[in-house]
């Protein structure tokens, strides 16, 4: 989902330990931990959802989600669908 491949300057990385974590898939315990952090106020999700769109406009929503660099998270609103 990145526009360009991830890369970094390798020689300095070999001089120090580097850790890169990328979540490929959430596990159930991950979701429980995040829920607890949000509920306790230790984790704020303010600003995470940057775009919302009606579900019937899903084609445009996906276009925005994958092509607009300002779109962090898109929510499809299904409330108006029967």
Taking the C-alpha atoms of residue 53 and residue 60, their distance in angstroms, rounded to an integer, is: 8
Using a 10 angstrom Cβ sphere, with 0-12 exposed, 13-18 middle and 19 or more buried, the burial of residue 58 is middle
CA distance readout (Å), 68 to 16, 28, 61:
35, 30, 10
Answer whether 48's CB lies under 8 Å from 73's CB: yes
Answer whether 53's CB lies under 8 Å from 81's CB: no
- The 10s digit of each residue's pLDDT in 9-44 is 666 656 666 666 666 677 889 889 989 999 999 999
Mean pLDDT within 58-68:
94
- Mean of per-residue pLDDT scores for the chain: 84
pLDDT at site 1: 57
């Amino acid at each position: 989902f990145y526009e360009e491949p991830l890369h970094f300057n390798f020689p300095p990385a070999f001089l120090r330990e580097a850790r890169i974590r990328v979540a490929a898939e959430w596990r159930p315990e991950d979701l429980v931990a995040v829920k607890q952090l949000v509920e306790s106020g230790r984790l704020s999700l303010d600003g995470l959802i940057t775009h919302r769109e009606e579900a019937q406009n899903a084609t445009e929503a996906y276009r925005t989600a994958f092509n607009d660099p300002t779109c962090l998270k898109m929510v499809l609103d299904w409330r108006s669908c029967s």
